[in-house]
Structure 1
Amino acid sequence: MTAARATLLGGALGDALGEPVEFLSRAAMPADLRPGPHISDDTQMMLFTAEGLIRARLGGLPWRGELFAAYRRWLLTQDREFFDAADGWLLSQRELWAQRAPGLTCLSALRRDEPGTVDEPRNNSKGCGGVMRAAPAGFLADPGTAYRVGCDLAALTHGHPSGWVAAGALAMTVHLTAVVGLSLPAALSQVADRIAATAGGEEVLAALLAAVRAASDRPGDPGVLAGLGEGWVAEETLAISVYSVLSHPTEARAALRLAVAHDGDSDSTGAVAGNLLGACGTELPADWLAGLELAGVIGRVAEDLVAALHGSPQGLVLRYPSYPQAG
């Protein structure tokens, strides 16, 4: 399985594992937790992130504008009263039109004609709706670009620095593990340095370092998760996911079950943990993959992403039409 396919499928597996228990307490969760039948908006938006990156590359267009357009296509699938450019192969996948209770911040931000940026935010939200969709940016050309575009794609909807720094951190971590081949601890060390150099990154840096320390001192302890948060905000989602994967770096089932074993946003923490597992090359459970909703679509998008960014993009324009500006 290629790194891109594993990263996106891993995220979807964690999402499907956490989706049925998102609003349950840890005590109420079954001991032998398995993925449910559905992905959530987390995986839907991750796919549209990849689509935006593909279209930008094929058309020679700025990442930011194409990502915003892609998210507006996703918005059409969730809000029947909204209409924007509706074309392309991904939007034709009718299963993606299932309404999966997306976050209100994303919905309200995407209904506006002017997206936010890191310098001109449209709100002060640091919810996890940016970080949970950022993994595809990890397959851009270099770690610095992955970090910058990860920040930018989250800032379209989430204006607080913690909301977009966490997304940049995930994208850079994916790049350093899946593309460069670093171990997760080595990648996180470089990511921490980059966050430390980012104005407003203090909360994300503190959360990330706390997760790394906890994984060293008390690995695999669900009781640790309460101290890391509940995942509703971006830095907590990143911290819980990192702690879970560092605790079980070679055991995907154990890592994903730990990532969702808290009283908060279990599908988002599961999704980000799954992204990290896939990026690190951890083998994903074949029986879980066999029942994963939209697995074929997710795998196709992952391969198309790599082909567009680094390989042979011939023929992709039929699935991902792009419209270069004249001149």
Structure 2
Amino acid sequence: MNDLVTAARATLLGGALGDALGEPVEFLSREAMPADLRPGPHISDDTQMTLFTAEGLIRARLGGGAVSAELFAAYRRWLLTQDRGYFDAADGWLLGQRDLWAQRAPGLTCLSALRRDVPGTVEEPRNNSKGCGGVMRAAPAGFLADPEAAYRVGCDLAALTHGHPSGWVAAGALAMLVHLTAVAGRPLVDALPQVTDRVAVTPGGEEVLAALTSAVRAAAATPADFRVLATLGEGWVAEETLAIAVYAVLSHPDDARAALRLAVAHDGDSDSTGAVAGNLFGAGGGALPADWLAGLELADVIGRVAEDLVAALHGTPQGLIVRYPAAGYPQAG
């Protein structure tokens, strides 16, 4: 349990560090970025939604409800923090963290999909988006009981808002990678073949498979090269986000600063590629910079949610119901 808690904290905090590193430079060219880039003062919607992913998984475990339904409800609670004209069920400790109500340029696809009463599914998509808004929030699903469950729930949680297969297959792949590294304790380079094999047999997974294959080959042949990184895309779509993150962490498996700086050093969606790279780096057991963590927004909340996630999925969840009210249990005051 202690090892899982450590891994979960590192996964979520690493993602938040990458997010905060990329957030201030998201719309800058690589040439315009400072060489000694450090995390900015804020996380983005990437980390906000990741926390609500964890909350949905916790509530599903506590209340025994359908996982996808609990995740959709959790994302609708997040929607309440971003859209003052929207109202839905509002309860729980996480929603009470007022700093999470900061509006951090949330993705339009997520907003529009969550305003609908009927969520998308893998089988019945509501749009054809493959934006990175699904993959960037999928890491908590990696702490489910086995790699197949992680993959399936990762796919399902992204399909709630992103209907193109690449949009949800990438999320399933990230969740499975997090499970194999953080829970099973395998190095990222050894976990990748199992994930690419799973993606290869998923209908519609061709783009994600090609992107992952390109990232692995590029890291083996020419690691830590900004020009090679640029050939993997700009991270606006899910398969590119995942590929950039994998390339960055394979290039610098033991240096968080270098891995995250590489992950955001392109002309595209730097906070999302930084967030996913941070998830993977933390899940792999790499040390996170203490000075970066010291200034991280909501670090205490992120750490608490990570601990609660492990307690709910792998431990004894008594007491969690106060923070995560579920059907059949008293509501938090």
Q: TM-score, normalised by structure 2?
A: 0.97
2:231 corresponds to 1:224: no
2:263 corresponds to 1:259: yes
Q: Which amino acid aligns with 2:250?
A: L
Q: 2:28 aligns with which of 24, 36, 50?
A: 24
Residue aligned with 2:122, SS: coil
TM-superposed CA distance for 1:184, in Å, is 0.4
Q: 1:277 aligns with which of 271, 276, 281?
A: 281
| Residue of structure 1 in register with 2:66 after alignment | 62
TM-superposed CA distance for 1:324, in Å, is 4.6
TM-superposed CA distance for 1:186, in Å, is 1.1
**Distance of 2:226 and 2:316 partners within structure 1:** 44
Q: 2:92 aligns with which of 88, 91, 97?
A: 88
**Distance of 1:301 and 1:187 partners within structure 2:** 25
Q: Which amino acid aligns with 1:261?
A: A
TM-superposed CA distance for 1:119, in Å, is 0.4
**Distance of 1:131 and 1:173 partners within structure 2:** 12
2:191 corresponds to 1:187: yes
| Residue of structure 2 in register with 1:148 after alignment | 152
| Residue of structure 1 in register with 2:40 after alignment | 36
1:1-327 alignment to 2 at 5 Å?
2-324=6-328
**Distance of 1:212 and 1:59 partners within structure 2:** 40
**Distance of 1:232 and 1:69 partners within structure 2:** 25
Q: Which runs of 5+ in 2 are unaligned?
A: none
TM-superposed CA distance for 1:192, in Å, is 0.3
**Distance of 1:88 and 1:100 partners within structure 2:** 21
**Contact conserved, 1:8 with 1:275, CA < 8 A, in 2?**
yes
Farther-moved stretch of structure 1 (258-267 vs 315-324): 315-324
Identical positions, percent: 84
TM-superposed CA distance for 1:147, in Å, is 0.1
TM-superposed CA distance for 1:226, in Å, is 1.4
Residue aligned with 1:182, SS: coil
**Distance of 2:54 and 2:239 partners within structure 1:** 22
**Contact conserved, 1:250 with 1:282, CA < 8 A, in 2?**
yes
Q: Which amino acid aligns with 1:180?
A: A
Q: Which amino acid aligns with 2:230?
A: A
Q: Which runs of 5+ in 1 are unaligned?
A: none
Q: TM-score, normalised by structure 1?
A: 0.99
Structure 1 consecutive aligned stretches of length 4 or more whose deviation exceeds 4 Å: none
TM-superposed CA distance for 1:142, in Å, is 0.2
**Distance of 1:102 and 1:86 partners within structure 2:** 19
Q: Which amino acid aligns with 2:62?
A: L
Q: CA RMSD in A?
A: 0.8
**Distance of 1:8 and 1:49 partners within structure 2:** 11
**Distance of 1:300 and 1:19 partners within structure 2:** 23
User: Per-residue CA shift, 1:93-140, capped at 9, x if unaligned?
Assistant: 000000000000000000000000000000000000000000000000
Q: Which amino acid aligns with 1:264?
A: G
